[in-house]
């Protein structure tokens, strides 16, 4: 589950890890910011008592909840998570593989900063990313702002339903150009540069 500030003051939004269902709750029900058990129990969600989850709403299929693998501290070049950078003639493609959270924040931030520094549009290929937390969202916004200050575009490719839900919830859906396929993004960016 992702817990994000609600649209109204004094509320939070809980987003299901499985289907992206959103519940808005008054924060007085959450006495400790990390403990969400009172809210998930009230709505028959299953999962951890803590906000770092995993959680599933009643609409999601039964069975075990997949717990994301958190890579160990230190260099993040393991089977669980890595990021690749492809420098193409019209763009730089950054491809993270695995969920984007606090554990992988620094390598992703560095990869995006490196991509922006090249001076070409940046394509963030999220086809192998299922979940993103608030730290990851902050990194995307920072990279977008860095690119914009240099007169560049940063676009997203193949964001998961969960990532799209988080962007929509945080009112960032209109900030990023979003494409279903990598070739669509590259074609659009090449056409924009030609104009």
- Reported as a single tens digit per residue, the pLDDT across 69-120 is 333 333 344 446 788 999 888 899 999 998 888 888 889 999 999 999 999 9
Helix axes 134-149, 105-117, angle to 10 degrees: 10
* pLDDT value, residue 129: 92
Low-confidence ranges of the chain (pLDDT < 70): 1-7, 12, 14-21, 27-56, 60-80, 195
* pLDDT value, residue 80: 66
How far is residue 91 from each of residues 47, 54, 152, measured CA to CA in Å? 41, 36, 10
Q: Strand 22-26's sheet: what is its strand order?
A: 2-5, 11-15, 22-26
* pLDDT value, residue 63: 43
Q: Classify 53 as helix, strand or coil.
A: coil
* pLDDT value, residue 122: 95
* pLDDT value, residue 70: 37
* pLDDT value, residue 112: 94
| Burial state string for 106-135 with b = 16 or more CB within 10 A and e = fewer than 16 | ebbbebbeebbeeebbbbbbbeebbbbbeb
* pLDDT value, residue 147: 93
């Amino acid at each position: 589950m992702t817990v994000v500030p609600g649209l109204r003051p004094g509320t939070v939004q809980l987003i299901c890890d499985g289907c992206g269902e959103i519940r808005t709750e008054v924060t007085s029900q959450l006495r400790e910011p990390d403990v969400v058990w009172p809210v998930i129990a009230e709505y028959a969600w299953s999962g951890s008592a803590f906000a770092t989850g995993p959680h599933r709403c009643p609409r999601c299929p039964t069975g075990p909840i997949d717990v994301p693998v958190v890579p160990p501290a230190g260099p993040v070049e393991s089977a669980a998570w890595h990021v690749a950078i492809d420098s193409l003639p019209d763009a730089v493609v950054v491809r993270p593989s695995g969920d984007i959270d606090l554990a992988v924040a620094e390598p992703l931030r560095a990869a995006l900063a490196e991509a922006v520094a090249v001076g070409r549009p940046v394509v963030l290929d999220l086809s192998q990313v299922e979940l993103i937390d608030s730290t990851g969202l902050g990194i995307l916004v920072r990279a977008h702002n860095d690119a914009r200050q240099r007169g560049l575009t940063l676009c997203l490719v193949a964001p998961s339903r969960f990532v799209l839900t988080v962007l929509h919830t945080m009112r960032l859906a209109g900030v990023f150009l979003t494409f279903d396929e990598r070739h669509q993004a590259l074609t659009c960016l090449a056409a924009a540069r030609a104009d």
